Amino acid sequence: MHDLILNEEHYTQVVEGVLAQAERYLWIATADIKDVHVQGPGRRYIPLLSVLADLVTAGVEVRLIHAKEPGPAFREDFDRFPALLDGDRFERILCPRMHMKAIVVDGRYAYIGSANLTGAGLGAKSPRRRNFEAGILTDNAETIETLMGELDRLYLGRHCLQCERREHCPDPIL
């Protein structure tokens, strides 16, 4: 599979499709992160953080790396989910150089594209308010392995000691 994902398909194919299928691990890289809401049980909308907390509670390891501190709505919602605050299955890293937008699910699927983890980016807003986005959803093992290697390298801070933007980093990994 090597599918082109456009606009609202980010929501239907990535968020509702593969992200929610995570059984072992979910890695997310994004430049911007906001308090995204997704359709929950019935017709009500819930924070994506609730979905992540449910995955963590079910035993899924979640890694989130993003470029800047999220806004107050995200932080307020984040604080409502003890599985994200206290658990050892959720890890969040801040790296001001992160501009990549990628999602890896269990090493089986990867999304690589332009969409940030925001409602406008993921197509979770009305068609008149969302961003125009493009990406690729793939199950190509070689692509996924290479992406995971790069994300792991960044997540573990392999770049930190030589980073020339360290003075802008609020919390260096190393």
pLDDT digits (tens, 9 = 90+) for 113-158: 999 999 889 887 777 888 999 999 999 999 999 999 999 999 998 8
Contact 36, 48 (CB under 8 A): yes
pLDDT recorded at residue 172: 82
pLDDT recorded at residue 41: 84
Who contacts 128 (Cβ-Cβ below 8 Å, separation ≥6)? none
Residues of the chain with pLDDT > 90, as a percent, come to 74
Fold observed for domain 2-168: Endonuclease; Chain A (3.30.870)
pLDDT recorded at residue 20: 87
Who contacts 50 (Cβ-Cβ below 8 Å, separation ≥6)? 40, 81
- Averaged pLDDT, 61-86: 93
159 — pLDDT class (breaks 50, 70, 90) = confident
Dig out the tokens for 136 from the structure. 């690729």
Place of tokens 């930190």: 160
28 — pLDDT class (breaks 50, 70, 90) = very high
In the predicted structure, residue 8 carries a pLDDT above the cut 80: yes
In the predicted structure, residue 165 carries a pLDDT above the cut 90: no
pLDDT recorded at residue 126: 77
141 Ramachandran zone, left/alpha/beta (phi>0; psi -120 to 50): alpha
168 — pLDDT class (breaks 50, 70, 90) = confident
Mean pLDDT value across the chain: 92
pLDDT recorded at residue 171: 80
167 — pLDDT class (breaks 50, 70, 90) = confident
